[in-house]
């Protein structure tokens, strides 16, 4: 089985490719990227002289061809919360979003804190998943923060990272041990940075707006204290620390300083909602804008963008957190936090390219190559021999977000009816060419 993707604008930071080229796929693997003799040449014949009229040709002229995106922070909800999302619907949504690999967080029911659950997820993924799934295991048993989970066994079963996501590891000694112990298997510890006592059951960013709405606020410091702590612990232990869903200016500054010192293996991610909207989205008690950490202020959004631009923040994830409508159509205080993000990530992130925050190549780095590197999977690249996981985007395609039409069961998005530009049109994964509309 051969497939040729012709004349696309190919971007692959792993090979330094950012030019018009063709990609040859054979038996589900990348055979090679056929570069022109002269970069960005018009309709010249490519080097190998492949006849382009034969079957199995995708004409990608005017389109951007990149490695399938890797989203290292996704909640697939299965097992236990199938009414919110399943492995089947969640991976379907990923494909719609140009994403070919997802790391699924362990806060399911039961939580993924032992290898049997990991195996269940991978088995289900093999049967029903339309994209690749890499489970994230719990750091502590039951995500209770008291004893380490059997991380080596989960690692051997297929977990690529460890996190108590949704909850912090509140006990500093426990976090120290997790970071130390993780050196056994060289997988990152992903930290959900939240000082729960300081957050004090808040439901949105703390400030004038929270006072005006009468909602309990969460100060930025509830995140920053833990970012600072975890950086210190990474320095102490030499463990690999990845900071989840960074949302504040202070966090960006702490991470930037840590990277500058170069004393710790620290990486960080943020989500489209933290660089696209502010706490203002909560006005009117909009539960679809309720997320943890909460949406922040204008200065934070600018700092996040700056952190993306200068490399402080390595990765863009969705933190896809689907919920059932009944859970969101209710009192703001009682609605669960989370945004269904897989199907809006590309459109929102392409804005960064439009605004000149990131180049396309940097964007592909943050959405494919970097996360693959952090969790140590052979993805995010189109080097010869890699799986043919490919995302093709039409950068000029304008569309209106329609949450009701999501493949995800979760329609909880503050971006419904937003006009976006730049849409995934074809996602190739597991040997299937998914044409998206």
Of residues 107-146, which lie at the interface with other proteins (CB under 8 A)? none
Shortest CB 285 distance to other proteins, Å: 3
Long-range pairs for 43-49: beta carbons < 8 A, 24 or more residues apart? 43/7, 46/21, 46/22, 48/24
Cβ atoms of residues 21 and 34 within 8 Å: yes
Report which DSSP code applies to 129: -
- Which residues on neighbouring strands pair with residue 394, listed in sequence order? 423
What is the number of residues in the chain? 437
Least distance to other proteins from the beta carbon of 250, Å?
16
Q: Which of 43, 173, 334, 404 binds other proteins (CB under 8 A)?
A: 334
Which among 355, 339, 349, 348 is positioned nearest to 419, based on CA atoms?
348
Q: Is 103 in the site for other proteins (CB under 8 A)?
A: no
Could you give the 3-state DSSP secondary structure of residue 173? Answer: helix
Task: Output the smallest distance, CB 179 to other proteins, in A.
Answer: 31
Q: Distance (Å, rounded) from C-alpha 331 to C-alpha 325?
A: 13
Using the minimum distance from each CB to other proteins, give the nearer residue, 257 or 325.
325
Asked if residue 229 lies in contact with residue 210, where contact means CB atoms within 8 angstroms, the answer is no
Distances (CA, A) of 235 to 26, 180, 181, 229: 45, 10, 14, 10
**Given candidates 181, 285, 399, 418, which one binds other proteins under the rule CB under 8 A?**
285
Instruction: Check if the beta carbon of residue 245 is closer than 8 Å to that of residue 297.
Output: no
Determine the Cα–Cα distance for residues 25 and 253; give it in Å rounded to an integer: 43
CA dihedral 50, 56, 57, 60 (to 10 degrees): -140
Among 261, 298, 330, 378, the residue binding other proteins under the rule CB under 8 A is 330
Tell me the per-residue interface mask from 212 to 251 with other proteins, x by CB under 8 A, - otherwise: xxxxxx----------------------------------
**Least Å distance between CB 35 and other proteins?**
56
Position 404 contacts other proteins (CB under 8 A): no
Nearest CA to 91 out of 298, 264, 436, 342 is that of 342
354 is catalytic: no
Helix (H) or strand (E) holding 265: strand 265-270
The residue within the footprint of other proteins, chosen from 329, 355, 396, 431 (CB under 8 A), is 329
- Indicate which residue of 22, 71, 314, 319 is catalytic: 319
By CB under 8 A, tell whether 333 contacts other proteins: yes
- List the structure tokens of 191: 């930290």
> Which of 16, 42, 284, 405 contacts other proteins by CB under 8 A?
284
Q: Which is nearer to other proteins, 32 or 333 (CB)?
A: 333
Site for other proteins in 193-212 (CB under 8 A): 206-208, 211-212
The reply on whether position 326 binds other proteins by CB under 8 A is: yes
Q: Which of 134, 155, 162, 332 binds other proteins (CB under 8 A)?
A: 332
Smallest separation, CB 428 to other proteins (Å)? 43
Task: Indicate whether 299 belongs to the interface with other proteins (CB under 8 A).
Answer: no
Q: Which residues bind other proteins (CB under 8 A)?
A: 206-208, 211-217, 284-285, 326, 329-334
Q: Which residues are designated catalytic?
A: 319
């Amino acid at each position: 089985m051969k497939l040729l993707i012709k004349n696309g604008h190919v971007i692959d930071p792993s090979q330094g490719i950012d030019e018009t080229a063709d990609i040859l796929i054979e038996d589900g693997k990348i055979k090679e990227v056929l570069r022109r003799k002269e970069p960005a040449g018009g309709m010249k014949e490519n080097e190998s002289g492949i006849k382009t009229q034969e079957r199995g040709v995708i004409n990608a002229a005017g389109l951007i061809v990149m490695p399938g995106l890797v989203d290292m922070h996704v909640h697939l909800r299965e097992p236990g919360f199938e009414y919110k999302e399943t492995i089947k619907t969640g991976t379907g949504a990923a494909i719609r979003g140009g994403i070919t690999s997802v790391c699924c967080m362990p806060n399911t029911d039961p939580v993924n804190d032992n290898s049997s659950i990991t195996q269940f997820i991978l088995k289900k993924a093999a049967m029903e998943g339309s994209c690749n799934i890499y489970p994230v295991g719990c750091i502590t048993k039951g995500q209770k923060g008291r004893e380490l989970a059997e991380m080596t066994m989960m690692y051997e079963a297929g977990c690529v990272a460890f996190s108590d996501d949704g909850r912090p590891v509140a006990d500093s000694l426990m976090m120290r041990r997790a970071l130390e112990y993780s050196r056994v298997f060289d997988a990152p510890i992903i930290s959900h940075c939240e000082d729960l006592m300081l957050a004090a059951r808040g439901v949105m960013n703390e400030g004038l707006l929270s006072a005006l709405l009468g909602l309990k606020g969460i100060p930025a410091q509830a995140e920053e204290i833990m970012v600072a702590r975890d950086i210190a612990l990474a320095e102490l232990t030499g463990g690999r620390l990845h900071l989840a869903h960074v949302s504040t200016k202070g966090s960006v500054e702490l991470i930037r300083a840590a990277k500058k010192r170069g004393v710790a293996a620290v990486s960080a991610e943020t989500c489209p909602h933290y660089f696209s909207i502010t706490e203002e989205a909560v006005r009117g008690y909009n539960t679809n804008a309720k997320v943890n950490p909460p949406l922040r202020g204008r200065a934070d959004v600018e700092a996040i963008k700056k952190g993306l631009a200068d490399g402080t923040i390595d990765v863009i994830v969705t933190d896809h957190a689907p919920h059932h409508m009944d859970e969101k159509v209710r009192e703001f205080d009682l609605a669960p936090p989370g945004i269904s993000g897989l199907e809006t990530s590309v459109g929102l992130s392409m804005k960064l390219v439009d605004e000149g925050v990131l180049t396309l190549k940097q964007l592909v780095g943050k959405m494919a190559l970097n996360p693959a590197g952090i969790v140590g999977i052979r993805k995010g690249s189109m080097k010869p021999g890699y799986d043919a996981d490919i995302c093709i985007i039409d950068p000029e395609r304008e569309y209106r977000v329609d949450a009701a039409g999501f493949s995800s069961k979760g329609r909880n998005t503050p971006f419904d009816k937003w006009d976006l530009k730049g849409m995934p049109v074809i996602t190739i994964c597991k040997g299937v060419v998914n044409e998206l509309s």
